[in-house]
Copies of this chain bind each other. A is one copy, B any other.
Amino acid sequence: MNQSKAPAPARRSDATRRAILDAARERFAADGYERATIRAIAQQAQIDPSMVMRYYGNKEGLFAAAVAIDLQLPDPASLPRDDAGHALVTHFLHMWEDNDVLTALLRVGITNETGAERMRGIFSDQLLPLVERVCPDPEQAPARAALVSSHLLGLALTRYVLRFPPASRLHPDEITAWLAPTLQRYLTAPHPGR
């Protein structure tokens, strides 16, 4: 964001800051907000707990800094309307397999109101606009987006958090084959009525 405007201060402590954020993401993802302790994060980053406080103020500040999520959703304009469901599923699967920030936010969003608020923000700032562009009647967009997010978050929940064995074992291709038509229907099919 400030890479072109500000010439990057390049502090000497950047490595430490990054180590803290990396450790924080990992602990938050594995343990959730409450059980992820500052002490454990500091130990994993091989620094003193007080450094965390110096650089991020408090635990909430650390969480805010560690969990910044950009879903990198595709541009709705370049998205073929009939292919939106398929594109969404594969995109989410890739994002989720790659990094554990999403799992961290999911875990924290459930125990911590700040985390829940963050997830609501991501929903309305990133997913909703895309759905508004794709779906037929913009007025129905919120409901349709809610259905889509329900299914995708539920998949992440059973697969990466609760680890239902059948959900964890499913091959990404098979998930895509099942979910793509569903999401496509939620996005573009006519309202089924009452």
- Whether A58 is near chain B, meaning CB under 8 Å from some CB there, is no
- Whether A163 is near chain B, meaning CB under 8 Å from some CB there, is yes
Contact yes or no, A173 B194, CB < 8 A: yes
Contact yes or no, B178 A194, CB < 8 A: no
Q: What are 11 A-B pairs with beta-carbon distances under 8 A?
A: A32-B34, A32-B110, A35-B111, A142-B165, A142-B166, A142-B169, A147-B178, A149-B167, A150-B157, A173-B194, A181-B185
Instruction: Please count how many residues in chain A sit with their CB below 8 Å of the partner chain's CB atoms.
Output: 49
What chain B residues lie within 8 Å of A146 (beta carbons)?
158, 164, 166-167, 170
Taken together as a complex, chains A and B put the C-alpha atoms of A165 and B141 apart, in Å, by 12
- Whether A62 is near chain B, meaning CB under 8 Å from some CB there, is no
Q: Of A2-10, A18-26, A116-124, which binds chain B?
A: A116-124
- Whether A182 is near chain B, meaning CB under 8 Å from some CB there, is yes
| Contact pattern, A 14-45, Cβ under 8 Å of B = 1, otherwise 0 | 00000000000000000110110000000000
What chain B residues lie within 8 Å of A182 (beta carbons)?
182, 185
Contact yes or no, B170 A143, CB < 8 A: yes
- Whether A91 is near chain B, meaning CB under 8 Å from some CB there, is no
Complex partner residue of A165 from B31, B111, B120, B193, CB under 8 angstroms: B120
Taken together as a complex, chains A and B put the C-alpha atoms of A146 and B174 apart, in Å, by 12
Give min CB distance, A131 to chain B, whole Å: 10
- Whether A47 is near chain B, meaning CB under 8 Å from some CB there, is no
From A32, A146, A163, name the one whose CB has the most chain B CB atoms within 10 angstroms.
Answer: A146
In order of increasing CB-CB distance, the 9 nearest A-B pairs are: A154-B154, A142-B166, A34-B34, A146-B166, A146-B167, A150-B154, A177-B192, A32-B111, A150-B155
